[in-house]
Amino acid sequence: MKSAAPPPLNALRAFEAFARHGGMTAAAAELCVTHGAVSRQVAALQDHLGVTLVVGPRHRLTLTPTGAALAARLTGAFSVIGDAVEAARRDERREIEISCLGTFALKWLIPRLPGFMALHPEIRVKVSESWAPADFARDRIDGAIRIFNPGQGAKRQEITPFLRQYQGPVAAPALTPPGITLEALGRLPRLHASTFRESWAIWSALVEVRLPSVDPSREFQHNNSMIEAAAAGLGVAIVPWAFVAPDITAGRLVAPFGFAERPSQFVFLRPEGRPDASVDAFRDWLVAEGSISPGPPIPSTGPAAGTRPAPRPGAPPSTGRG
C-alpha cells in the first residue's frame, strides 16, 4: 500500500513555531515571514492532514488536543534535526555558544577565558550577551549564565550554581571619602540600571536600613554603563561584587559599606538530556573558577545592621542541578 505524502516541511515548521510561542506574530518574527504567511501554512497543514489543529477566533487561536500532541512531537523532532545539522557543521574543534549577562561576561567571564582555552584548546567558546530567560529551543545556544533565586527552576534545563552573589553600594573615591556615614551616602545621587531597578530596595532590605528618597536619581540601560557612571563620579550604584571586583581592586571604585550576601546565585544552565562533553567541560571549569574566585573585602564601615563578613577565598559554592 502506498503511503500518503508527508506534509510540506515549511507548514510543519510554521505550525510548530506557532504552537511553541502561542501566537502567529511571535512565530512570524522567529521565521522571518509575515503573520499571514504563518496563518496560511497552518491552514494548509490542516487541509493536508484532514484534521483540526487550532480552534477559536482569528486572533485568539488555541491548539486542539490533536494539535497539542502533534506540536509536542514536532518540537522534539526539530530539535533532533537541529542537533544533527550542528554536528555536521563541526570540524575537529568544537565551538560552543554561551549566553551570558553582559556585565558578568565583561568583568568576570572573559578575563578568565584564557584559562579555559589553555585547558581545552580543542573547544572554542562564543559568548553572546543576554539577560532574558534562556530558551534553548529558540536560540540554539549550548549554555547560559544567569542569576537564580532559591527554589527557582527552569523547565527541561539542568541548573548548576557556581558563584555566590554579593551586592553593595559603590562610588568613585572622591565622592565617598573615608569614614563616610550612611546618612551622607543616602544624600548622594543614586544610579540605577533599567535591567534591575529594584537594586536599592533589595540592598536596603538585606542590611536592614531605610534610606530617604533622593533627587536626582539617574537610570542607565545596562549595568556596565551604570558602573562607568559611578566611576566618573555621577552617583552611587548598587551592584554585584562580581561586576566590580576589578574596579575595586584597581581603585577606580570604592565600597565603603562592603557587600551583603544575597540568597541568589550565579548559575550555569544547559538543556536537559542533551549530552555534550564540551559543555560538560565548560560547566566543570565554571564551578572550579567559582570556588577560587575571591570574595568581597570586609567593609571599613557598616550600615545599621552591618553586612555579612566575606567568605574565606576559595570557599566553594553549593552546586547541584534542578
**For residue 311, which amino acid is it?**
P
Task: Using alpha carbons, list the distances in angstroms from residue 292 to 72, 203, 282.
Answer: 42, 25, 16
pLDDT tens for 70-123 read: 988 988 888 888 777 666 655 555 899 999 999 999 999 999 999 999 999 999
- The single residue listed with the C-alpha cell 551586592 is 167
Q: How confident is the model at residue 310 (pLDDT cuts 50, 70, 90)?
A: very low
Tell me how far apart the 2 most distant CA atoms of the chain are, in Å: 88
- DSSP-derived pairing of the beta strands 260-271 and 143-148: antiparallel
The CATH fold of domain 9-89: Arc Repressor Mutant, subunit A (1.10.10)
Give the per-residue pLDDT at 233.
96
Q: Give the pLDDT of residue 35.
A: 83
Check residues 23 and 322 and name the one with the higher pLDDT.
23
pLDDT value, residue 298: 65
| Structure confidence by residue, pLDDT tens digits, 202-254 | 999 988 888 877 776 788 988 999 999 999 999 999 999 999 999 999 999 99
Share of the chain above pLDDT 90, in %: 51
As a whole number of angstroms, the distance between CA 144 and CA 150 comes to 18
At residue 311, the pLDDT reads 38
> Given the C-alpha cell 487561536, which residue does it identify?
61
Strand 62-63 to 54-55 pairing? antiparallel
Q: How far is CA 233 from CA 212, 228, 300, in A?
A: 21, 9, 20
Beta strand 94-100 with 123-129 is parallel
pLDDT at 315 > cutoff 70: no
Contacts of 232 (CB under 8 A, 6+ apart): 172
Dihedral sign for Cα atoms in the order 36, 42, 44, 50: negative
Strands 236-240 and 190-193 turn out to be parallel
pLDDT tens per residue, range 125-152: 999 999 899 998 888 899 999 999 999 9
* Cα–Cα distance for residue pair 106/86, rounded to 1 Å: 27
27-57 residue pLDDT tens: 888 888 888 888 899 989 888 888 898 888 8
End-to-end Cα separation, the chain, in angstroms: 48
Res 191 pLDDT > 50 = yes
Per-residue pLDDT at 58 exceeds 80:
no
Q: What is the DSSP letter of 141?
A: -
Sorted by where each begins, the domain ranges of the chain are: 9-89, 93-322
Q: Which residues pair with 143 in a beta bridge?
A: 98
Task: Report the distance separating Cα 42 and Cα 16, nearest Å.
Answer: 9
Q: Is 157 helix (H, G, I), strand (E, B) or coil?
A: strand
- Cis amide linkage into residue 161, ω under 30° from 0: no
How many C-beta atoms surround the C-beta of residue 114 within 10 A?
9
The DSSP secondary structure of 79-138, one letter per residue, reads: HHHHHHHHHHH--SSEEEEEEE-HHHIIIIIHHHHHHHHHH-TTEEEEEEE--SPP-HHH
Q: Which residues of 188-214 are buried (b: 16+ CB within 10 A; e: fewer)?
A: bbbbbbebbeebbeebbebbebebeee
CA torsion angle 296 207 146 105 (round to 10): -40
CATH of 93-322 given 3.30.230.10, 3.40.50.2300, 3.40.50.150, 3.40.190.290: 3.40.190.290
